[in-house]
Amino acid sequence: MTLPAAPPSSDAALPQRWHTSTFRLLTAYSLLFSLTVVAILGVFMWRATAVMSDQIDRTLYWEAHYYVRLNASDIESAINRRVAQQQEHYRSSFFGVFDAHGAHLAGDIRTFPQNLRIDGVGHRVDPGLDVSDASSPRTRALAVRLPDSRVVVVARDVGPIKEFHDAIRDTLVWTGLLALVAGMGGGYVMSVRQFRRIHETQRVIEQIVNGNLDRRLPTGGRDELDMLAHLVNHMLERIGRLMAEVKGACDGVAHDLRTPLAHVRKTLSQAQHRAAQLSDPPDAELTGLIQYAEANTDALLERFRAMLRISEIESMRRRGEFDQFALRPLLADLEDLYRPLAEDKGIAFSSDIGETDDLVIHGDRALLFEALSNLLDNAIKFTKQGGVKLELSATQAGPRIEVRDTGIGIAESERDAVLQRFYRSEGSRHIAGSGLGLSIVSAVVGLHDFGLAIESANPGTRIRLDCWKRALV
């Protein structure tokens, strides 16, 4: 059985705020919102560009057919006049007339555009158009063939469409980034707030786990976490009342039965004394029966005392006795007490507890002495040959105490059960005992929030006590 111990700081068990659900959800929502905005603006840009291109193609169509309807001899002069008029203004339209072989006849388009189909439909000219007195503009052009095989080319600058397209693209990028950054920033701020609430909730839960059932989770957020805190607080109130009722009933039964048993024990002693006075020599059979009854009454009284002791420890009445103290002198006192007992039984008692008092813990010295006394008492009781060893060592997390023996051992399947009240393992039921010694040890360890592990020593048992607080994971 192992109760795992962790490093002293419980903050290490908390999730990083970048991993909180609030931050993840807001970041995901911001990303989705940004993608939605980009998609909407992208569709808008595509449709707007398509509409503008269609309008330009319609303008080119009507301009081209205007010149086609003129007399054949007037087309070139009309186009030259239109080009001359545009010289005084912003040039957005371009014109050209070419013979059947592509030679330039009129207009400001000097070279017939490559790959431009003569089909009366607008097409994008790429690369740019070869225009006199102007850089190569980006255009859409339309070509129409006249009956005399000449070709009229009408083109229009699409630079404004390109500028509009670039403006929408930049808007897409910056709007998406702004929405994403705003969402992540909001997620960070909200996750910090939630993280503080969770940190405070964890601190209270650790106090509750340590036995302070009067504590309640913080409330006031008016959200799902607040609703959960109210439910847990209500549950704690119910549990507290039920535990108080059960504990009160058990303690009452134990206390009420202990008093009559004490009277029975006193009566048996008086009966034995009276029997010795009435018969000389005393009746051996009667004396044996009385002694047997006394032994069983003493066992019952011991069990009731142990039950009340466990109840006292678990009720946290002794936390006021917590203080700093060194472990080595405590273990030295235990060694002085139990070494003669082990030697009287014919088994070895060894220790490795060091020479310095630098291993210091915060706890109740008397309770730890009682718990370790139970461990050493069990180790000596269940060891027929070999020995018992008491060890003290330092780990990175804190001090560690080990009690080893070469006795009958505890089966792996029973290492949880032996910590329960009145449970006795299969291999130890022939030996006198109440089955409460390890329950007291477990209660003391739980009070201190230490770690407890029961392992095999091959042969025998090794019980490890990690003297540092276990973090709430």
Above pLDDT 90, what percent of the chain? 4
What whole-number distance in Å separates Cα of residue 307 and Cα of residue 312?
Answer: 9
Position 3 scores a pLDDT of 46
Cβ atoms within 10 Å of 72's Cβ, excluding its own? 11
Token pair 């957005």 is found at 92
Q: Which residue has the higher pLDDT, 134 or 234?
A: 234
Q: Select the more confidently predicted residue: 399 or 49.
A: 399
What are the C-alpha distances in Å from 262 to residues 32, 253, 301?
Answer: 76, 14, 7
Distance between CA atoms of residues 66 and 64, nearest Å: 5
Could you tell me the pTM of the whole model? 0.46
30 or 143, which is more confident: 143
Residue 2 has pLDDT above 50, yes or no: no
Q: From the CB of residue 328, how many other CB atoms can be counted at a distance below 10 Å?
A: 17
Structure tokens at 336: 């002085």
Q: What is the DSSP string of 152-179?
A: EEEEEE-HHHHHHHHHHHHHHHHHHHHH
9: confidence class by pLDDT, cuts 50, 70, 90: very low
**Residue 13, pLDDT above cutoff 60:** no
What is the C-alpha to C-alpha distance for residues 463 and 402, in angstroms, rounded to an integer? 6
> Over 50: is that where the pLDDT of 417 sits?
yes
For 68-102, how does the pLDDT look when each residue is reduced to its tens digit (9 = 90+)?
888 888 888 888 888 888 766 667 788 889 998 88
pLDDT at 258 over 70: no
CA distances from 398 to 237, 365, 392, 467, 470 (A): 35, 17, 11, 6, 11
SS3 of 198-248: the string is HHHHHHHHHHHHCCCCCCCCCCCCCCHHHHHHHHHHHHHHHHHHHHHHHHH
Neighbours of 447 (CB within 10 A): 23
pLDDT band of residue 436 (cuts 50, 70, 90) is low
Tell me the C-alpha to C-alpha distance, in Å, between residue 332 and each of 74, 150, 211, 350, 357.
124, 118, 30, 11, 11
Residue 388, strand partner residues: 349, 405
Residue-wise DSSP of 62-87:
HHHHHHHTS-TTTHHHHHHHHHHHHT
Instruction: Work out the average pLDDT over 425-445.
Output: 65
CA torsion, ordered 97, 99, 101, 104, to nearest 10 deg:
-40
Say if residue 39's pLDDT is above 70: yes
User: Which tokens belong to 287?
Assistant: 């004396």
What domains lie within the chain, and their CATH numbers? 7-209 (no CATH), 224-314 (1.10.287), 320-466 (3.30.565.10)
- Specify which residues 387 forms β-bridges with: 348
CA dist 348 and 371 (Å) reads 21
Span 359-389, pLDDT tens digits: 888 888 888 888 888 889 888 888 888 889 9
